[in-house]
Amino acid sequence: LHPSSRSVTLAGLELFADASAAELSELQDSLERVEVDADDALVREGEPGDCFLLVVQGEATVTRDGLPVGRVGPGSIVGELALLRGGLRTATVTATTPVIGLAGDAESFGLLTETAGVRERFGRTAAQRLAASVQPVPATLQDGTAVQLRPVLPADRARLTAAFDGDFSADSQRKRFFSPGRPSAALISYLVDVDYVDHFAWVVLLAGPDEAGKGVASARYIRLADDPDTAEIAFGVVDAYQGRGLGRLLLGALGAAAPVGDVLRFRASVLADNAPMRKLLDRPNSHWTREEPGVVATVLDAPALRDLIDPATAAALEAEAQAIVAAAHLALA
Ligand SMILES: CC(C)(COP(=O)(O)OP(=O)(O)OC[C@H]1O[C@@H](n2cnc3c(N)ncnc32)[C@H](O)[C@@H]1OP(=O)(O)O)[C@@H](O)C(=O)NCCC(=O)NCCS
């Protein structure tokens, strides 16, 4: 990075579409202009994070352990996680064209996130970046099948689409969505593009030698807007893997994540003919009601559900959820 005297303007960036001229000028005054030549690094993995960088012009690639994980361009913010957590850079960002940016410290990052509209646009991206860096938690089903659990990522769109296209029968879709139709592209976006605070989802991937990385199940909680201590839960296990304990594993995993998001209760609506789901949710503290003809609902004590899975797995899942939710809060704070 070297200081630059060329003037830059923030007004054209989509990130600042809602910002006032006064906000932008205050923000610009708190930041230092920098230039990076093509092929030079903006930040390097493993180095201390003492500033963040807002890219104003130019493009760069992001690599972790030498592998590409993303691209950044005008309006992208890099390096803020290490700065805010007081830790080391978790990725290297290398300019592919000359880059002009604005560098700042934690205080100016605070100013940036207070700028109108920035929090909404940026918070989601930051949480997703951290989610991409978490380690999947291994687990073994009773029949010996090796799986991994991790939070859902935007990149899971293809996995989810494939599952809906072939591995999830019309009857499973009916039980999951209360209608047999294939989920729309907009619904799939909603399912993979989560904020980890009000909407949290685990996915289960195969981890054995066969079909490693194939997605076989997911489960989520979505906080109720009018009752923030309570979240609606929903599950989907591909047909070939139903009845093998994945539902139970995921219910325990949601229970492990619940205290992290301050969720006290889970609520579920279930088709009355869905025997496995009713069995799964029929816990000592379940309280069932009839919601409408053919639909029953129950409310469960969320944190107690972690006892469904072994304590070490529950602890690992909770730690993973903690890391993501903390980052999402940081980005939003
Ligand atoms: C419902 C669903 C999530 C359950 O997951 P699963 O991995 O198949 O379930 P599990 O193997 O963990 O079994 C869960 C419980 O149901 C019981 N069960 C499994 N299959 C069953 C069946 N055919 N009939 C009755 N009970 C059954 C299990 O014994 C287990 O009970 P336990 O926890 O008291 O031991 C899964 O089958 C599914 O995705 N179905 C289609 C979509 C759906 O119904 N989603 C839920 C709507 S939100």
Centroid of ligand 1 to alpha carbon of 292 (angstroms) = 22
- For residue 196, the SS3 value is coil
Centroid of ligand 1 to alpha carbon of 277 (angstroms) = 5
- Alpha-carbon gap, residue 328 to 126, rounded angstroms: 7
pLDDT in single tens digits along all 333 residues of the chain: 666 556 678 888 988 999 999 999 999 999 999 999 999 999 998 898 889 999 999 999 988 778 776 788 898 888 877 787 677 887 889 999 999 999 999 899 989 988 999 887 776 666 566 666 678 999 999 999 999 999 998 778 889 999 888 899 999 999 999 988 888 989 998 999 888 888 999 999 999 998 999 999 999 999 999 999 999 999 999 999 999 999 999 999 999 999 988 999 999 999 999 999 999 999 988 889 999 999 999 999 999 999 999 999 999 999 889 877 765 554 443
Task: Please check whether residue 100 is in contact with residue 56, taking contact to mean a CB–CB distance below 8 angstroms.
Answer: yes
Tell me the best of 175, 269, 279 to mutate to test the pocket of ligand 1, counting ligand atoms within 8 Å of each CB and taking the most: 279
- Select from 208, 300, 196 the least CA-distant residue to 252: 300
Q: Whose CA is nearest to atom 33 of ligand 1?
A: 280
Residues 6+ apart with CB under 8 A from 161: 188
| Cβ of 275 below 6 Å from ligand 1 | yes
- Alpha-carbon gap, residue 131 to 200, rounded angstroms: 11
Tell me the best of 173, 242, 254, 267 to mutate to test the pocket of ligand 1, counting ligand atoms within 8 Å of each CB and taking the most: 242
Q: Are β-strands 67-72 and 287-292 bridged in parallel, bridged antiparallel, or unpaired?
A: unpaired
| Cβ of 236 below 6 Å from ligand 1 | yes
Residues 6+ apart with CB under 8 A from 199: 220, 221, 222, 223
| 7 backbone dihedrals φ, ψ, rounded to 5° | -80, 150
pTM (predicted TM-score) = 0.73
Atom of ligand 1 nearest to the CA of 250: 12
> In Å, how far are 139, 146, 202, 241 from 143, measured between CA atoms?
12, 9, 21, 11
